Structures are given as structure tokens and as C-alpha cells.
Amino acid sequence: MMLIKPLAVTDIPALLAIESRANPYPWTEGVFKSCFGSHYYNFGLFADEQLLGFYFGQFITVESQLFNICVRNDQQGKGLGSSLLSHFIRQSEQRKALEAWLEVRASNQAAIHLYQKHGFIEAGRRSDYYSSATGKEDAIMMCLPLRFSN
């Protein structure tokens, strides 16, 4: 059975293992550690106590931001990313965020499609934002207006 539950600092080795295999420019241990503060909400998708995917979000004032979402390579294409993104959106609504924001590599068409499927729209670009094998790559900024219930 799969379960989405809060992450802990003790999950960092598993996070690093997933991130380093799925991302050509992975987060470091220090970046993961810095994202366990009070403004962050971080969840993992577990099956039989094994971490299959995760996301890191932040809430400040009236806005949520998705910093990282990643699924283990051998689990991709099974809807886990969609489950994690839906959970992030629900968590943002529970915190009464008016909008959810994220940035994605312009070349990551699979992720862009996933975000659009969940209602995110392109809100701008950051030129030459990400490092890439050929130099630099644009970031697409995406926004999802949220409705929350009181």
C-alpha cells in the first residue's frame, strides 16, 4: 500500500539516492537539510517503508512554491508524480495559499504536461536560469490560482 507522509531529516540518504539518479543537477545534502524549516512542507510517497518519490514545498504569506518534486526512476510513468502534485496542491489549499508557483526547465516537456494537467499556467520565463549540458536553459514559471475553503 502506498502512503504519502511527512519527510524527516533521517530520510535524506534516500532522498539523495532518488534525486541523484533522476536529476542531472541534483540537490545536495545541504540543500535538503536547509528545507526542513518551519516554512517548508515536505512529503514522501512510501510503499512498504521504501521512498518512491517526494516533494518539497514552501508557504510564505499567501503563496506556496513547489521547489522540488521527484520520483524514483524505476517508478516513473505510474502516476506517482501526479499523486504527489495533487497532494502538494491540497497542502497549499489547507495553508490558505492564494496561488501555487513552480519553475521548470523549458526542455522538461513531461513535467510541463503534468503541471498543465493539474491547472498550472505559464506565467513567465527566466532566461538562462538553469545549467545544462549545452550551457544554460530557460526556466518556465508556472502558477496555479487556488481556492480554499474556510
Provide CB contacts within 8 A for 2, sequence distance 6+.
45, 46, 47, 52, 80, 83
Measured distance between the N- and C-terminal CA atoms of the chain, rounded to whole angstroms: 32
Count of structural domains within the chain: 1
Question: In whole angstroms, what is the distance from residue 14 CA to residue 55 CA?
Answer: 13
**149 pLDDT tier (thresholds 50, 70, 90):** low
pLDDT for 150 beyond 60: no
Q: How far apart are CA 104 and CA 21, in angstroms?
A: 18
In a domain, 150, yes or no: no
Query: Which residues are CB-neighbours of 68 under 8 A, at least 6 positions away?
Result: 19, 27, 35, 54, 55, 56
Give 104-131 pLDDT, tens digit per residue: 999 999 999 999 999 999 999 999 888 8
Looking at the domain assignment, is residue 68 inside a domain?
yes
Considering the entire predicted model, what is its pTM? 0.92
Q: Reply yes or no on whether the pLDDT at 148 is more than 70.
A: no
Write out the catalytic residue numbers.
103, 115
CATH number for position 22: 3.40.630.30
> Amino acid identity of 99?
E
Q: Is residue 109 part of a domain?
A: yes
Q: Which residue has the higher pLDDT, 148 or 37?
A: 37
Q: At what angle do helices 80-94 and 109-117 cross, to 10 degrees?
A: 50
**Domain around 133:** 2-145
Determine, yes or no, domain membership for 100: yes
Tell me the range of 14-18, 20-24, 37-41, 130-134 where mean pLDDT is highest: 14-18
22 in a domain, yes or no?
A: yes
Number of C-beta neighbours around residue 47 at 10 A: 13
- pLDDT tens digits, 23-72: 888 999 999 999 998 889 999 999 999 999 999 999 998 999 999 999 99
pLDDT score, position 130: 87
